[in-house]
Structure 1
């Protein structure tokens, strides 16, 4: 790879091609000996640019180290769409080589151009990339009156977005498809989600959504129990909210949800922040399938589901930052395996509803300390022609930080 930071420059280029580049960007490309890029970007270069033009292979990321190594010592430029550091190759190269070895010359991103066309302040807009993510990741961003800009994976993305909005009860939302932004073929097509249509979109597009009124899903933990497909193995709403508060999700942290049931703890952990990750471990095949369905429906389709029984199913999993045990407390080795997997400072939270599992938590509390809490919830329900309180099973929660 290049030893001189000046030998690798990433240049953002828009649909307007060479005429839209700044003098700095044009000079970097003119002075390069090798230019990497996608076929579409490379085709935007004029003939007088003398460098060798190398199209990216597929898959790209595994091939990058070898490609750069084979051109060691040569002046390399990389072409990217718009802003290379906004869901682009620039970020990948910085992770690979380090920030000091990569010079980035950006152009306006497609999101910036779309916001300019629509008159939307970017500070008031949610941005989502569906270039490599499933469309279900749109779910957590859908709220009445919100605006969303979506980086599209291709010509089929607008229809997929419109279908999801319609299924969520937001059929009247305005969906605008902005194609070839900044170029001579720029096109804007708008309609409601229900009537947008599925054909005729250019693959290079950004989808803008202005949400109508519709069913609202809360952002804080404690979704209604009805939000989950469940066979009854579900941490109830009130207990779930307290449990998530005790778990304390932080961006980038990985949670193990052991004995996941319907997956509600892992799902709401991931909903807390887009960078929160989780693995749901469940021994029942039926429940494991149900967890995956719940995760997709609630906007966290990247939740990893492991079918198996702890502690054996924990072997080989990425090390967690936090562990929740919702089932399997009385099984030999489960708590020990969870604690062993945690780093120093890692957190463990476990819930118990039976006398036997409560006894396990009491013993661990006596041994390691932490916090032991017991909560009881009563819900109002009909009693003949009147209303009374119906008690749910009390839940004991043990939380501890590994020292």
Structure 2
């Protein structure tokens, strides 16, 4: 039986460089034949580390398998910032090699350092990374009184964070930018988002945000049923109360994928994704103008990863990854749409369809007879002035069919299987 190759050692290193490493980390680095890391990390190593030094190329992730294969059989040490398993290279290495081929020696993360400096309990502090991700994703984490640490991608990150906070109505929020944490050049800059006074400084930074909402700014809660005013729309919008009921029946869970068909303004997909950071959604909308509007709503409400497909269902569904749940908010009378969605669902998947027309209601009644589930009618009335008095104005009732596909066989993984 062939000897197993030596594990790849992953060493977390901070801004304090060699001086901050443990004896085990120093031994691993001095004994390595190949040293891989960012250029600034490799520069922190002394001459007593004689291994061949290789800087990660850009883009990094596609290069990982090739670099490891090229140096197979050598003793490899990889440098990482802080804790390699916290938004670090450790994830990519685990996916390529498997956990049993790695030996990870973590260093305190920038989050641990930041919380230690400003007195925030780590367990009560949210962390958002903007490294390789759009700034817009921060918007979903903004709530009055919350504390958020933002991992910056570059020296421009603090100004970008301040700008987003102003746009989201959180201009009074206090910002502290902590640079070079743990190193001799450690520094802290302070200000508010409304009046951020500092030019770009050190690219190695983390932004601490004390969230404060401006007076009069729209309040967005953490559960489905955001105010209708939170969305840009042309009238094609699942209204707030029906939306809350619909998301309750769809029941998003972490990591699940939703198909939102007939996206309109994208409200169902947006609030599905806001329910948990790992939730994913694809919205299908045939009108290009509305599709562009969905993208804007997703950015503004903190879920820029929402995928928008411009096309007509069911044809536009052909190459999509299998969903865990499907919502049909428009296009029910399209030939074969309901059957296509039902066939795409894995066992245990959920389907919810809403309609206000008699023609589509008849289709839902037929689907209910064939597949079971629950058929309900949702009616909402709003109090409005009637002369000098107040009366009820009834909105169009919504017929909703919801059903769970019988779990008769193991469900395929939604991210890996295509129709």
Query: TM-score range with shorter-chain normalisation?
Result: over 0.9
SS at match of 1:387: strand
The alignment status of 1:321 with 2:321, answered yes or no, reads no
Q: Could you give the per-residue CA deviations for residues 147-188 of structure 1, whole angstroms, max 9, x where no partner exists?
A: 110100111110011111122222221100111111111111
TM-score, scaled to structure 1: 0.98
CA contact (8 A) 1:5 1:103 kept: no
Aligned to 1:112: 112
Aligned to 1:383: 386
**Which of these residues, 350, 367, 379, is aligned with residue 364 of structure 1?**
367
Name the stretch that deviates more: 229-238 or 343-352.
343-352
Q: Could you give the per-residue CA deviations for residues 235-254 of structure 1, whole angstroms, max 9, x where no partner exists?
A: 01000000000000011101
Q: Could you give the per-residue CA deviations for residues 74-119 of structure 1, whole angstroms, max 9, x where no partner exists?
A: 1110000000000000111112211111110000001110111101
Q: 1:137 to 1:389 in 2, by over 3 A?
A: same
**1:5 shift after superposition:** 6.3
Aligned to 1:57: 57
**1:365 shift after superposition:** 0.4
Query: How far apart are the structure 2 equivalents of 1:32 and 1:60?
Result: 21
**1:345 shift after superposition:** 1.3
CA contact (8 A) 2:258 2:325 kept: yes
CA contact (8 A) 1:175 1:190 kept: yes
Q: 1:126 to 1:304 in 2, by over 3 A?
A: same
Alignment of 1:45-124 (within 5 A): 45-124=45-124
Aligned to 2:248: 245
Q: Could you give the per-residue CA deviations for residues 316-375 of structure 1, whole angstroms, max 9, x where no partner exists?
A: 111111110000111111111111211111111111110000000000000111111111
Query: How far apart are the structure 2 equivalents of 1:324 and 1:361?
Result: 13
Say what the alpha-carbon RMSD is for the aligned residues: 1.3
Aligned to 1:211: 211
**1:62 shift after superposition:** 1.4
CA contact (8 A) 2:189 2:198 kept: no
SS at match of 2:326: strand
Q: Which runs of 5+ in 1 are unaligned?
A: none
CA contact (8 A) 2:262 2:329 kept: yes
**1:3 shift after superposition:** 7.3
Alignment of 1:74-223 (within 5 A): 74-197=74-197, 199-214=199-214, 215=217, 216-223=219-226
**Which of these residues, 325, 340, 343, is aligned with residue 337 of structure 1?**
340
Give the 4+ runs in structure 1 shifted more than 4 A.
none
Query: How far apart are the structure 1 equivalents of 2:159 and 2:5?
Result: 43
Query: How far apart are the structure 2 equivalents of 1:203 and 1:386?
Result: 61
CA contact (8 A) 1:128 1:150 kept: yes
SS at match of 1:340: helix
Query: How far apart are the structure 2 equivalents of 1:333 and 1:169?
Result: 44
Name the stretch that deviates more: 193-202 or 13-22.
193-202
CA contact (8 A) 2:5 2:73 kept: no
Query: How far apart are the structure 2 equivalents of 1:98 and 1:276?
Result: 25
